[in-house]
Amino acid sequence: MPHIAKRLSRVKPSPTMAITKLSMEMKSAGRDTITLSQGEPDFDTIEDVKEAGIRAIREGKTKYTAVDGTPELKKAICAKLKRENNITATPDQILVSSGGKMVLYAALMATIDPGDEVIIPAPYWVSYPDMVQLAEGEPKFVRCPENNGFRMRPEDLEAAITPRTKMLILNSPSNPTGAASSAEDIRKLADVLMRHPHVLVMTDEIYEHLLYDGFRTASIAGVEPRLADRTITVNGMSKGYSMTGWRIGYACGPKDIIKAMSAIQSQSVSSPNTIAQVASVQALTGPQDYIQERNAIFKERRDLAVKMLNETPGLSCHRPEGAFYVFPNCAGVIGKTMPNGRRIETDEDFVLGLLEAEGVAAVHGTAFGMSPYFRISYALSTEELKEALMRIQRFCKALR
């Protein structure tokens, strides 16, 4: 008798985690490896946020909270959405959960029926299609070409919408490309959506603070408030505030959807971590200037990566607006032979060859729905990044 439920047959484990695991194994076996597949800032949580967490423990804030989050945190989130996103929301439109990932999952489970289509811009973050499939929906991919800065063209969105479309997922800045959309770009997508009132929008804004060169992105519900009653805005503390391990994410949306997500949460994870919620209030209401200081370092690394990748034979790299990823094109190495005699047929062959020869772990573009590309995370020390990029150059120069 099979033990595993049929719904799992459509779900793969995260390929980014698989590469990270392989490189960790190589590292523990004594190989000199550099991991470029991580999805978290190398910076620590700032001291006053840590202190707020420590104080919460000392003050005995160690019990359950309301399932959908503490009133203090929901209030701080409403203020943040008003201040930064032009979104007006009341606390009953907010759900706090255990990380952005759980928020996205609860939103899909709360809205998607079997066979509903969900439009996902490609390249996409690896978890979207699998989460949609867990909810028994059908992912529908819209290609966002490099020559449009990996952004979705409004006409491609229009063409992808059918009577069965339930939701569009947006992600700016994007994982894996770092591409971000301006208010103007988002306005054009909003215009398309205004013609299709049956389509919900879920916008994943977890990288919103990681933007360089003065680029500004926008929230679709802030750009077009008439879409607010069918938009779920997802965000969290993980990336911009360097709080990945605290596990706090949140959603803002229509009351009925938030209530349904809260019901899912009450019967699964229950309330998010109490101490992390206190620390998150501090992060949202305390000083914000360190984010820009850290961004100056991320920008320097992005520029280094783009420059060195563009100097590498067989590779070309688009300069993204944000996040901590670049998504170089590796079409020029396909068909070449590695020193070990093996031919590179795919971007996966390329990243596996690179890991084996140089101990550098990147993730193949196929995992994100676009090839031949690969993703590099530059959330590691500048010296290590430089060393990794030198090894990529050496690997590519040795191809025949």
Ligand X SMILES: Cc1ncc(COP(=O)(O)O)c(C=O)c1O
Residues of this chain that interact with ligand X (CB under 6 A) are 39, 99-101, 125, 171, 175, 204, 206, 236, 238, 244, 249
Q: Which residue is nearest to ligand X (CB)?
A: 99
Nearest approach in angstroms of CB 377 to ligand X is: 10
CB proximity list for 218: less than 8 A, separation 6 or greater? 85, 86, 181, 182, 183, 186
- With respect to ligand X, which residue has the nearer C-beta, 162 or 268? 268
Taking the least distance from each CB to ligand X, the nearer of 206 and 392 is 206
Single-letter amino acid, residue 136: E
**Shortest separation between residue 99's beta carbon and ligand X, angstroms:** 3
Shortest distance, position 37 Cβ to ligand X, whole Å: 11
Decide whether 249 or 314 has the Cβ nearer to ligand X: 249
Q: How far is CA 172 from CA 182, 183, 315, 331, in A?
A: 9, 11, 25, 25
Nearest distance from C-beta of residue 230 to ligand X, angstroms: 20
What is the rounded distance in angstroms from the CA atom of residue 370 to the CA atom of residue 120? 12
Q: How far apart (Å, rounded) are the C-alpha atoms in residues 233 and 237?
A: 14
286: Cβ–Cβ under 8 A, 6 or more apart, which residues? 48, 49
Distance of closest approach, residue 7 Cβ to ligand X, in angstroms:
21
Nearer to ligand X, 237 or 317 (CB): 237
Quick check: helix, strand or coil at residue 125? Answer: coil
Identity of the residue, 69 or 353, whose beta carbon is nearer to ligand X in the bound complex: 69
CA distances 305 to 110, 318, 320, Å, are: 40, 10, 11
Please identify, using beta-carbon distances, which residue of 43 and 390 lies nearer to ligand X: 43
Which lies closer to ligand X via its Cβ, residue 35 or residue 244? Answer: 244
Tokens of residue 314, six digits: 């067989």
One-letter amino acid identity for 59? E
CB of 85 to ligand X, least distance (A): 16
Q: Are strands 165-171 and 200-204 parallel, antiparallel or unpaired?
A: parallel
Q: How far is the CB of 27 from ligand X (least distance, A)?
A: 21
Go through 190-227 and write b for each residue having 16 or more CB atoms within 10 A of its CB, e for each that does not. bebbeeeeebbbbbbbbbbbbbbeeeebbbbbbbbeeb
CB nearer ligand X, residue 99 or residue 328:
99
> Least distance to ligand X from the beta carbon of 206, Å?
4
Say which residues have a Cβ less than 8 Å from residue 69's Cβ, sequence separation at least 6.
77, 94, 95, 96, 97, 250, 271, 272, 277
